[in-house]
């Protein structure tokens, strides 16, 4: 695949460079002319929680930098112990740099992306990997309980290679599931790009040692999951979808399910509904009002469980 120079070289309004014990909590980050955060050069113990991102030119955060690392990646180029959680990224497709991920994590370990709400992103809402080296940058990472609305809505040149949650390259330096990527409890629904894309779970080239379990992929996706060439040693277990179409070009891929439930049947008491209600910023979901549930099943945007998202 092609990686644009915009992704590789774009700076940020706030750069955390080789630093540790940094926290941003409860901030409003708006009208900035680039990506908001860049975490690089071995930064560790960084916490970005409970913030809101509005009307920025690019994504909310980049964790690590893209590069080759054929001899293995020393600790000073690997971001460690980063928490990006409980944030609202409400772009409404306002990005000027359309091919930047909302949460772009090319190089991190022992880190978590959790309970974020991400709305109307031109390219990938959550993207991981990108080390491209023989020894991967990534290990012991978790992506859980994020709520994603309208992923991959940018122009066709972007939409052909995009997914709600996207990975590329090996996700464990120890080549074990126990130290690999774990993706669970995420809910994604809505539009995708004009050309065929995954729109759901996308395990791109070389993704390995990852587990994708109990996620809910709904909406106008071409595939609920796509597994790219050279992907290997990955598991997709008991995920939910309303579109039972899968592309699998990988090897040694374990697939259990998916559980196919039409969007109109996302009833109370089902595992699919529990994923919807557990995703996003805690306490903001309309799932606490049972009478609202049937109204989420029809109309543009009606399935979005967090209606406060947006400008």
Q: What is the pLDDT of residues 4-52, one digit of tens each?
A: 333 445 789 899 988 999 999 999 898 888 889 999 888 999 999 999 9
pLDDT score at 136: 61
Cα-based angle 84, 88, 90 (whole degrees, multiple of 5): 130
- Answer yes or no: are the C-beta atoms of 181 and 143 closer than 8 Å: yes
Question: What's the rounded Cα separation, in Å, for the pair 280 and 187?
Answer: 8
Distance of alpha carbon 171 from its chain centroid, rounded?
14
Four-point Cα dihedral 266, 269, 271, 272, nearest 10: 20
Question: What's the rounded Cα separation, in Å, for the pair 87 and 65?
Answer: 22
Question: What's the rounded Cα separation, in Å, for the pair 63 and 58?
Answer: 14
Other CB atoms within 10 Å distance of the CB of residue 76 = 9
**Positions in the chain short of pLDDT 50:** 1-8, 70-71, 93, 193-194, 267-268, 289-311
The helix (run of H) or strand (run of E) holding residue 253 is strand 251-256
Question: What's the rounded Cα separation, in Å, for the pair 274 and 225?
Answer: 20
pLDDT score at 160: 65
> Domains of the chain: which residue ranges?
5-297
The neighbouring-strand residues paired with 244 are: none
What's the whole-model pTM score? Answer: 0.85
Q: Encoding tokens for residue 97?
A: 């740099």
State whether residue 27 is helix, strand or coil.
Answer: coil
pLDDT score at 135: 57
pLDDT score at 307: 37
pLDDT score at 151: 83
Supply the DSSP string of 181-213, one letter for each residue: EEEES-EEES---SS----SEEE-TT-EEEEEE
CA distances from 272 to 64, 179, 257 (A): 33, 27, 13
């Amino acid at each position: 695949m092609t990686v644009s120079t915009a992704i590789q070289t774009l700076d940020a309004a706030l750069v955390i460079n080789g630093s540790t014990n940094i926290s941003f909590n409860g901030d409003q980050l708006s009208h900035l002319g680039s990506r908001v955060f860049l975490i690089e050069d071995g930064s560790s113990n960084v916490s970005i929680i409970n913030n809101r991102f509005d009307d920025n030119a690019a994504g909310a955060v980049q964790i690590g930098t893209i590069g080759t690392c054929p001899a293995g990646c020393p600790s000073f180029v690997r971001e460690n112990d980063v928490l990006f959680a409980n944030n609202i990224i409400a772009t409404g497709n306002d990005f000027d740099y359309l091919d930047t991920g909302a949460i772009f994590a090319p190089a991190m370990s022992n880190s978590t992306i959790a309970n974020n709400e991400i709305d109307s992103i031109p390219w990938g809402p959550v993207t991981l990997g990108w080390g491209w080296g023989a020894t991967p940058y990534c290990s012991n990472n978790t992506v859980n309980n994020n709520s994603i609305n309208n992923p991959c809505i940018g122009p066709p040149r972007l939409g052909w290679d995009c997914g709600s949650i996207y990975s590329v390259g090996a996700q464990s330096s120890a080549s074990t599931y126990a130290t690999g990527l774990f993706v669970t409890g995420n809910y994604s629904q809505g539009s995708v790009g004009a050309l065929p894309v995954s729109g759901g779970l996308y395990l791109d080239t070389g993704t390995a040692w990852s587990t994708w379990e109990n996620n809910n992929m709904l909406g106008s996706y071409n595939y609920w999951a796509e597994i790219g060439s050279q992907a290997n040693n990955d598991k997709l277990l008991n995920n939910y979808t309303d579109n039972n179409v899968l592309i699998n070009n990988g090897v040694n891929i374990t697939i259990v399910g998916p559980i196919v439930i039409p969007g109109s049947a996302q009833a109370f008491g089902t595992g699919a509904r529990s994923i919807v209600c557990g995703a996003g910023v805690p306490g903001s979901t309309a799932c606490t009002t049972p009478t609202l549930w049937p109204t989420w099943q029809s109309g543009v945007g009606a399935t979005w469980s967090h209606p406060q998202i947006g400008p």
